[in-house]
Structure 1
Amino acid sequence: MRQRRLLLLVLGLATLPVFALTPGAQAPDFKGTDSNGVNHNLSQYRGKYVVLEWANQGCPYDQKHYLSGNMAALQRQWTEKGVVWLSVISSAPGEQGNVSPSEENQYLKKMKAAPTAALLDPEGTIGRLYQAKTTPHIFVIDPQGTLIYQGAIDDKPTTDQADIKPAHNYLNAALISAMAGKAVPTASTRPYGCSVKYKE
């Protein structure tokens, strides 16, 4: 009987949503170097909205948004409105998605991607600080440095590009609402994609 209760407890916990940082909390500051050798920290962007997007070139969920042009379109849409968009690559050396600075720049050019910068985080320092779980995993930070959204990019957890158009985009909803002075309708969702390939 005791074993059965324990099993039910374990199964119950396994079905609970696993969220990263709690929206409403202050977003942790960090330091990182981008694919052009430029240093960035979150505090330098105080006064602006910031999007953190965890990326992995080899992940089919990430490829869904890059190969379709969706990620590039989102990056352009929001950076043109003054949003700082930082792609973060936390794949460890030897793991899927780990790239050199030149490889990342070539990929961004090929995909016509337009983030403000792509931060290389092979030690997983920034990823672990934010408890980033998947690629993609999205975090939105407001001008006061408060986390206002974390989770999936949209509500279609598939690798099918055809699912992008009918999807509800949580990232867009968060930024549109916040910029209009309204509450973010959904502040946390379960991120989907490949697990971030952290250094063991």
Structure 2
Amino acid sequence: MKKTAFLSMLALLLTVALMSTRSLSDGYKVGDTVQDFKLKNVDGKTVSLADKKDAKGYIIAFTCNSCPVAKAYESRIMALNEEFASKGYPVLAIQANDAEQSPGDSFMAMQDRAKAKKYAFPYLYDESQAVARTFGATNTPHMFVVKKDGGQYKIAYIGAIDNNQRDASAADKKYVEEAVNALLSGKSVTTTSARAIGCGIKWKNA
């Protein structure tokens, strides 16, 4: 009886542990349909996926002001928008860090960053962190390419921008770029995921 009780307690503890991490590990998988969302842009306006009726899809970047890796990839995110926005795949950047833990990622700091760097794409504040959790974003940067399919948006790629954090010119695998080019050509995405490398998102204390 004691052994049975011990095993039952162990199973319960494991279940609780899994439930506590589920919100961070679960999220969209390739092929999943994306729920639309509404987030505040740095200009104070609300932005959603439905806003651009002519969009073929989006390049969604979970990023931030303060992470060194996010900063290293900032110019590449800007370049992706410059390359693909006119082709129907604009960038939506989303900042989800808890500002209490990371003051450099406050909404005001986001506004300053977007202005200083002259972002040509929305920089959205996921203050509740609900969108980041729904997507399953864990890092900054963490990229999601979504394509429009029958009036809905579906996940086509998840992960890193490329395979060289330090030097964009040295990257020989440009995952996001290759994914969007494949979609624009009507082809299947060859590499649908790659591990996102960067700072962990600063989650709110429970």
TM-score (norm 2): 0.78
- Could you give the per-residue CA deviations for residues 47-100 of structure 1, whole angstroms, max 9, x where no partner exists? 52111101111101011122xx33222221122323231100001121225222
Aligned with 2:113 (options 107, 122, 126): 107
Letter of the 1:80 counterpart: S
Letter of the 1:119 counterpart: L
Could you tell me which runs of 5 or more consecutive residues in structure 2 were left unpaired when the two chains were aligned. 1-24
Letter of the 1:185 counterpart: T
Aligned with 2:47 (options 29, 40, 45): 40
Letter of the 2:155 counterpart: L
Deviation at 1:123, TM superposition (A): 1.6
- Could you give the per-residue CA deviations for residues 5-48 of structure 1, whole angstroms, max 9, x where no partner exists? xxxxxxxxxxxxx7842111111222211111111222344652
Larger Rg: 2
1:26 and 2:14 matched: no
RMSD: 1.9
| Aligned position for 2:159 | 151
Is the Cα–Cα contact under 8 Å of residues 55 and 89 in structure 1 kept in the other structure? yes
Q: Distance in 1 between matches of 2:125 and 2:199?
A: 18
Letter of the 1:79 counterpart: A
Q: Report 1:1-200 matches (<5 A).
A: 20-45=27-52, 48=55, 49-66=57-74, 69-96=75-102, 97-100=104-107, 102-115=108-121, 117-144=122-149, 145-156=153-164, 158=165, 160=166, 163-167=167-171, 168-200=173-205
- Could you give the per-residue CA deviations for residues 85-117 of structure 1, whole angstroms, max 9, x where no partner exists? 1100001121225222x43232123223322x1
Deviation at 1:192, TM superposition (A): 0.8
Is the Cα–Cα contact under 8 Å of residues 94 and 126 in structure 2 kept in the other structure? yes
Q: Distance in 1 between matches of 2:54 and 2:178?
A: 20
Q: Distance in 2 between matches of 1:54 and 1:174?
A: 17
Which of structure 1's runs of 4+ aligned residues deviate more than 6 A?
none
Q: Distance in 2 between matches of 1:124 and 1:198?
A: 8
The answer to which structure has the higher helix fraction is 2
Letter of the 2:161 counterpart: I
